[in-house]
A = this chain, B = another copy of it.
Amino acid sequence: MAQGARVEPKILKGFRDYLPDVEAPRLHMLDAVKGVFARFGYGPLQTPAIEYSEILLGKYGDEGDKLLYRFMDNGERDVALRYDLTVPLARVVAQHQNLVMPWRRYQIAPVWRAEKPGKGRFREFMQCDADLIGEPSIRGDAEIMMVGLSVLAALEVPAYVMRVNDRRILDGVLDTVGVEGRDKRLAVLRAVDKLPKIGPDGVRAEIAQATGLADPAIDALFSLLGREVRSDAELAEIGLALVGSEVGKAGVESLRELLRILDAAGFGKSVGVDLTIARGLDYYTSTIYETFLVGHESYGSVMSGGRYDGLMDMFQAKPTGSPAVGISLGVDRLLSALLDLGLVAVATAPADAFFCLFDAGDYPHVAAVANQLRAEGVRIECALSAGKLGKQFQLATRKGYRWALLQGVDERSRGEVVVKDLVAGTQEVLSLAAIGEWKGRLTGR
């Protein structure tokens, strides 16, 4: 590695380094997520960061195409960095015709979008998706929602609600109110999707501008979408209000069935109907959901998804309307919420305890004892330079440690170790033979 003229060390705008204080709890969180996925039989998939551009182009709209990190590689191939995990999934499904359906996979990986960076908006960010491919029944929707809700339970999030809707109910409402034409209908859905951000007046204004819909029709729209639905009976009433729309009624019946399953399986209290949930993406075909931290809705949805039958066909020679339903966890958003709410702590020290070094000659003995503790699951950082104990305690404290360990010649001969509490200023001499009894004090477990 040659060393040329010195270059200013800097990082690209919209990109981040994760140092261990944040990366450690982040990995811990992702481990919990992976554990839940695995317990539901979802297997991990990994795909390349780089794809042929033609695989990605045209899948995210004109705006998305412009945001691709696209370039010619050294072999003059037109390539791009992955933009999401859904298109690579469709490619994998098309290339591996031997997958046994229904197929459950999760993928946790960074994606790249050349967006204007801003508060909480980055050009490289982690996506965390679980998808169930090939299952048409409403039980698939129920399962993937249970996966998501179980993730939040595993992360010990105290209060959350998954707000669910069915795209077909929105279609029924649009039918009933009389919004016609695909573009206008999508414009209404996109406006409704912005409700938490721009409020009802903002949504009304946007709908009026995009569709030319008259005020009474907009009133009708809002009176339908704004209904509180707290029971199966109230949901059934929505069905009656959409009596002229077959698709709308089908959406209501499907949502009723979904809620009955979630209730019976014990997830009812974490789920609520919200007819204003629209999801911006136009590929959803029925069930859609977003998830909010109760009392902290301003973080936005931390977990969203829905059913998107047909989308997986994009690379298939013979489109079959393949069923698919998925959920995506907003890892960075959720982590920042959990950190703010004190539910996850930034790592202060790199390990559980700091093993001091009296004398460089002691190091092999210290290393052997440290390895004995490590074998018991205690994380130990060893001092490698000898020095005055006071200085070593200072260093340990600066590094964020509460516990310092030492072993003098006497302790060594007796198979003991001194455990010092740097916060309380107290210390005890403990037997290594009885590690099992006191290691929990160091690990907090």
B104 touches A137 (CB 8 A): no
Give, as a whole number of angstroms, the nearest-CB distance from A116 to chain B. 10
With a cutoff of 8 Å between Cβ atoms, the chain B residues found around residue A124 in the complex are 48-50
**Would you call the interface of chain A mostly helix, strand, loop, or mixed?**
mixed
Whether A142 sits at the interface, judged by CB under 8 Å, is yes
A137 touches B6 (CB 8 A): no
Give, as a whole number of angstroms, the nearest-CB distance from A253 to chain B. 15
Query: Which listed residue, B1, B31, B41, B381, touches A104 by the CB 8 Å rule?
Result: B381
Whether A442 sits at the interface, judged by CB under 8 Å, is no
Inter-chain CA distance A57–B7, complex, in Å, is 10
Whether A222 sits at the interface, judged by CB under 8 Å, is no
Which stretch from A231-239, A364-372, A428-436 is at the chain B interface?
A: A364-372
With a cutoff of 8 Å between Cβ atoms, the chain B residues found around residue A51 in the complex are 11-12
With a cutoff of 8 Å between Cβ atoms, the chain B residues found around residue A399 in the complex are 100
Whether A330 sits at the interface, judged by CB under 8 Å, is no
With a cutoff of 8 Å between Cβ atoms, the chain B residues found around residue A137 in the complex are 360, 384-385
Known contacts A50-B112, A69-B50, A124-B48; decide if A1 and B264 are in contact (CB<8 Å).
Answer: no
B1 touches A282 (CB 8 A): yes
Inter-chain CA distance A114–B4, complex, in Å, is 22
B11 touches A91 (CB 8 A): yes
B48 touches A11 (CB 8 A): yes
B58 touches A43 (CB 8 A): no
Give, as a whole number of angstroms, the nearest-CB distance from A404 to chain B. 13
B39 touches A378 (CB 8 A): yes
Closest 5 CB pairs of A and B: A20-B43, A41-B381, A264-B364, A71-B71, A4-B58
When each residue 89-126 of chain A gets 1 if its CB lies under 8 Å from chain B and 0 otherwise, what string results?
Answer: 01110111000101011000010101000000000100
Inter-chain CA distance A47–B10, complex, in Å, is 12
Query: Which listed residue, B18, B57, B379, touches A45 by the CB 8 Å rule?
Result: B18
Which stretch from A194-202, A211-219, A309-317, A413-421 is at the chain B interface?
A: A309-317
Query: Which listed residue, B23, B46, B314, touches A46 by the CB 8 Å rule?
Result: B23
A314 touches B39 (CB 8 A): no
With a cutoff of 8 Å between Cβ atoms, the chain B residues found around residue A69 in the complex are 50, 71, 73-74
B60 touches A43 (CB 8 A): no
